[in-house]
């Protein structure tokens, strides 16, 4: 039971970290432009933030997190061998300065995860009758969302700490590594501010698609249950109650 709990946390944590690193990598690769006002001066900035020093490093990080998620979800030596081979290829490409190829590899990770979950949702009835490796792929939406929010909160706290310490530790704003969290938080805030009209429309008309999304989530969630427990765990709970 404890091992299953650790495994669920590992899957949720790796997927949450993958989504966050992927978000930063996608925005950086897209070179999104936005306006930022500081000390009553408005300047145009381009989102070029990274989490690990460069888009190449972020691309390798996304693939490493994908490997961790798949390893925790599908304990198959063949699958891990294939992913390890791809990771070594990406590492070799980075060493030989094929940076664009590594970035493309990183940008392909989340669409790959989405395709796997979509395939499981479409083939759910067939997988129930004949389980295979794909049937072991599970999504704990609540746990993943919670850990994702924890990551965002950590970024916000890091940015807040730097702004609070600014009167004591003065330096050019965004001019040294101590401003990393503050600059990342500001960039994400302004970029998603550009999307606020679209997000508002999606929220207002959510009644048109919320049932469809709920149905998809039930198909890819562990055991199809709302509690996020797999069928063996439900059986164990039933035995304890009995």
**Residue-wise burial string across 24-45, b where 16 or more C-beta atoms lie within 10 A, e elsewhere:** bbbbbbeebebeeeeeeeeeeb
For residue 209, what are its two tokens?
């698609």
User: In angstroms, rounded to a whole number, what is the distance separating the alpha carbons of residues 20 and 145?
Assistant: 11
pLDDT of residue 231: 47
Nearest to 54 by CA among 97, 19, 112, 85: 97
2 has pLDDT over 80 = no
Region of residue 193 (left: phi > 0; alpha: psi -120 to 50; beta: else):
alpha
User: In angstroms, rounded to a whole number, what is the distance separating the alpha carbons of residues 80 and 72?
Assistant: 10
User: In angstroms, rounded to a whole number, what is the distance separating the alpha carbons of residues 213 and 222?
Assistant: 16
Domain count, the chain: 1
* Helices (H) then strands (E): counts for the chain: 11, 2
In three-state secondary structure terms, 215 is: helix
pLDDT of residue 171: 86
pLDDT of residue 85: 85
User: In angstroms, rounded to a whole number, what is the distance separating the alpha carbons of residues 214 and 206?
Assistant: 12
Q: C-alpha angle with apex 162: 32 to 37, nearest 5 degrees?
A: 40
pLDDT of residue 222: 58
For residue 194, what are its two tokens?
């550009």
Burial (Cβ within 10 Å: 0-12, 13-18, ≥19) of residue 64: buried
Residue 156's domain spans which residues? 2-241
Burial (Cβ within 10 Å: 0-12, 13-18, ≥19) of residue 235: exposed
115 has pLDDT over 60 = yes
User: In angstroms, rounded to a whole number, what is the distance separating the alpha carbons of residues 31 and 218?
Assistant: 36
189 has pLDDT over 60 = yes
Q: How confident is the model at residue 241 (pLDDT cuts 50, 70, 90)?
A: low
175 has pLDDT over 60 = yes
The beta strands (E) that lie in 19-176 are given as: 33-38, 41-46
Q: How confident is the model at residue 240 (pLDDT cuts 50, 70, 90)?
A: low
Q: State pLDDT tens for residues 133-154.
A: 677 778 888 899 999 999 999 9
Q: State pLDDT tens for residues 61-112.
A: 998 899 889 888 887 788 778 878 888 888 888 888 888 888 888 999 999 9
User: In angstroms, rounded to a whole number, what is the distance separating the alpha carbons of residues 242 and 236?
Assistant: 10
Predicted TM-score of the model (pTM): 0.80
């Amino acid at each position: 039971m404890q091992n299953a709990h650790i495994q669920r946390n590992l899957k949720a944590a790796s997927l949450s970290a993958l989504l966050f690193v992927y978000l930063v990598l996608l925005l950086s690769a897209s070179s999104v432009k936005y306006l930022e006002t500081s000390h009553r001066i408005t300047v145009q900035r381009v989102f070029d933030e990274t989490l690990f020093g460069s888009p190449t490093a972020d691309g390798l990080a996304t693939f490493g997190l994908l490997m961790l998620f798949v390893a925790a979800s599908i304990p198959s030596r063949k699958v891990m061998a294939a992913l390890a081979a791809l990771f070594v290829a990406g590492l070799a490409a980075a060493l030989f300065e094929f940076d664009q190829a590594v970035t493309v590899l990183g940008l392909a990770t989340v669409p790959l995860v989405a395709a796997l979950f979509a395939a499981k949702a479409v083939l759910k009835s067939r997988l129930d009758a004949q389980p295979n490796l794909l049937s072991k792929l599970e999504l704990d939406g609540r746990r993943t969302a919670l850990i994702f929010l924890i990551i965002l909160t950590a970024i916000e706290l890091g940015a807040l700490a730097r702004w609070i310490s600014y009167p004591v530790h003065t330096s050019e704003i965004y001019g040294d590594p101590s401003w990393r969290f503050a600059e990342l938080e500001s960039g994400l805030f302004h970029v998603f501010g550009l999307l606020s009209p679209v997000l508002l429309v999606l929220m207002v008309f959510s009644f048109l698609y919320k049932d469809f999304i709920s149905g998809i989530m039930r198909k890819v969630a562990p055991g199809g249950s709302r509690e996020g427990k797999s069928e063996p765990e439900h059986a164990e709970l039933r035995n304890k109650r009995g």
